[in-house]
Structure 1
């Protein structure tokens, strides 16, 4: 067992047991944003198949491309926030764009029988959501950690509380948007998108009205202000920033137009996302101003980002192949009520709300006794739990024919195990990036973390397209023929199990790299 470095064991002067009120403003803002995101996600696949008449494979690939791009654009949003706009302006711009995107989807679904308009509006709405999220997501996540002094031990718990806000919105979103949108009538999808847009507006308004009072530094100055407000500037410097902002707007407009025209070409999107996952980390590490300490911290984040890809590739089947499975091969009859397929997507976030406090108390209890697993080990547990979840549902469908519907128990049990896995990985990863990222590139490093999630989400679309359909040729993956649902789910068992095992082999090395840093708040290692 390794111990925490001497410096990290010293008491932290500014540490407190309570949390700043700004955390709960960010909690509420993110809750409504996630309501918007997951409300739309709950019915997106169903809308594509049942209203826009996409094939299962095409809808799966587009679903993966959308989620991949949603987590790719934070690179742009994080860079602009760090250099020009600051967190506050970026969050406001992103929130308004996403609300507009949902209302454009409402217009698409309102005219779904007009195929040309409905498809055009659908892609425009997705593009607005993609870029809006790019400005919103990395900045609000970074602001959570910035509310606290360096090396504050409350940060892990703060991100878990923040994660509860995410999942509170995600819990009600599939129920509300699914109830009004997933009725079995294609004409009703529009109500789900409309409610998602209203939720996004509420979150943006909450942030705008409360940020001045609660999102502040210890001295009362605005937290996340524009860079030009952080120091005194000359008139020429101010004018230069204005010109830069105009250039950024022009650049954004150009990229937006490019995205709209290439979104139909999945190969271009695949190349864009997968290439970014290689090029961007190299570009970050090529910064000659990085100190050896900063470089080692970034390396830990990048290595763990590789494992995150496989986690999200499997986890994000929730809105993709697992929604198809719920719709077609799950017995959803509950008395006289037919449970909408979109409702199953609420199991995971509801489980987060119930069990996040349990995990937060567990980590705190273990930390006080010097037995808390390190962040890399927690993440290995997360991958292992995901593999076990898919093993459960694979067992449930083994030997089942395509026209047989299975009990809701199997899907529910799998989602519950995935919830435990997510609590071991996702909030821990967010907190880890905040603790290890150099301050001057904090938003950019958060965006790099989201890039790993983007790659995983895009990969989820590729894997989801392997879902076997009766009467069609059996798909293949790495020479493995997928003849039925059992083989399909076993793909995820093997991928998640193998990566969990690999991370267990190297987690001690990663923990040592973290513990060697004087400013990394790292828990002691517990033997696997």
Structure 2
């Protein structure tokens, strides 16, 4: 009698900590990320080695692919919850990704572009959907959202770890067809998990849910039409990457103007302040992501050609080196969540602008040390692997302080009806940064057609150093502005209000912690 009762009490306490549906989204995140991680880490290598493209064309296609992927999250925020439910759009996206992987598996440049277009028709829209499905589980000022996103971000990086690992293995064996077919299977698992948890993932407080049955039918047709038309449009944009990048920058500037206008028109002062804080933090994050997105482009080629990748007699694939990032994120996400909870229980608030400034400083140092490593290169021009190891660790820790925290920030700062739009714009920032990364990668590659590190090290060293010190300067400036931005986010006020409202339940939290430790 007492044992089932105790079990029920523990489950109830668990639900007080994390809402139903969070665990399902964690699993879905793992498998939905796998195929993107394969393309993210392997596309430029497949284009240059598998399809014999030149470096400039391969970099342009990779840069446009990454930029479009993140840029389309803005469209995902608009379509999802309005013309299709978040869960429906996510499922449709998984189907599109399966088709894309199947097309990419055909070793032909035309099939590659069609496959990338179909894949982007899914991945570009559904990331915003899964983030909104997580966000809608919480109230605006609920700090548990931050922990949920940290756990979800760890789940995403488990998917990256699997994708990078198999991507590196098949890359070393030049078995690209098998690699992309396996990626399609990962998407099918994510689709099956979505259908299994369909009822748990229903929309809450969205225009689509509030519409009548007839309106929902019409909206579904419009949403499906948008997705199909998008694939054909993407095929054309991938064919003309220069125009594609210019278009993204123009739309990005227009969206910035729109968000500024919406901020000015907010009826209340607190809402206006929060949106201005969002704008400042979004602009500062462009610098971080411009450096971070060098990993699948210029930094990937640098590691492939200019770094001694032999370790204990084993040749390490470039994709495996990116797993340094995933290990840090997988382990660091939950640890950071626990640390934040521990500090807040003791009245220590770690503000969002502080975390952003720290992220900029860390990624700046990560790139600033690479020229030092290059200066100690071997007689053949190969840089020691340890410099790359330290650089990736610093980048990864910086990512923890800006990416999952950024998702939680949108839920905290965005008005309810603008949440999808602002989540999409937040993801779009990474796409704009990817365009800058494309240009920086071409600068790093230099004008020479040689791949000999003795000829290319100087260009890489100059570019990495310039970018690293620029990020350090930006991080220092944001650190100085922390008091101003923190007042705009109103974090301290929200924390004090939550502390007052939750004080009667502190005993429950202590009991849950004791039960967890005892288990």
Scaled by the length of structure 1, the TM-score of the pair is 0.84
Are residues 1:501 and 2:490 paired? no
Aligned equivalents of 1:520, 1:297: Cα separation in 2: 15
CA contact (8 A) 2:103 2:111 kept: yes
Aligned equivalents of 2:184, 2:487: Cα separation in 1: 45
Q: 1:44 to 1:472 in 2, by over 3 A?
A: closer
Aligned to 2:51: 52
Structure with the higher fraction of residues in helix conformation: 2
Matches for 1:27-426 after TM superposition, within 5 Å: 27-107=26-106, 112=107, 118-179=108-169, 181-185=170-174, 188-212=175-199, 214-215=200-201, 222-224=202-204, 227-230=207-210, 233=212, 238-287=213-262, 290-292=266-268, 293-398=270-375, 400=377, 403-426=380-403
Aligned to 1:466: 443
Query: How far does the alpha carbon of each residue in 1:306-342 deviate from its partner, in whole angstroms, 9 at most, with x for none?
Result: 1111111101122112221221122222344222222
Deviates more, 1:50-59 or 1:155-164: 50-59
Aligned-residue offset at 1:148 = 2.0
Flag structure 1 segments of 5+ consecutive residues without an equivalent: 1-13, 113-117, 216-221, 475-480
Deviates more, 1:367-376 or 1:405-414: 367-376
Q: 1:49 to 1:191 in 2, by over 3 A?
A: same
Q: 1:156 to 1:74 in 2, by over 3 A?
A: same
Aligned-residue offset at 1:298 = 2.1
Residue-pair matches, total: 481
Aligned equivalents of 1:189, 1:88: Cα separation in 2: 31
Aligned equivalents of 1:473, 1:175: Cα separation in 2: 29
Aligned equivalents of 2:16, 2:390: Cα separation in 1: 35
Aligned equivalents of 1:83, 1:410: Cα separation in 2: 47
CA contact (8 A) 1:327 1:341 kept: yes
Deviates more, 1:238-247 or 1:271-280: 238-247
SS in 1 for 2:303: helix
Aligned to 1:9: none
Q: 1:290 to 1:129 in 2, by over 3 A?
A: farther
Aligned-residue offset at 1:459 = 1.3
Flag structure 2 segments of 5+ consecutive residues without an equivalent: 1-12, 500-519
Aligned equivalents of 2:129, 2:460: Cα separation in 1: 40
Aligned equivalents of 2:334, 2:482: Cα separation in 1: 25
Aligned equivalents of 1:375, 1:443: Cα separation in 2: 20
SS in 2 for 1:85: coil
Are residues 1:489 and 2:476 paired? no
Aligned-residue offset at 1:248 = 4.1
Scaled by the length of structure 2, the TM-score of the pair is 0.86
Deviates more, 1:400-409 or 1:365-374: 400-409
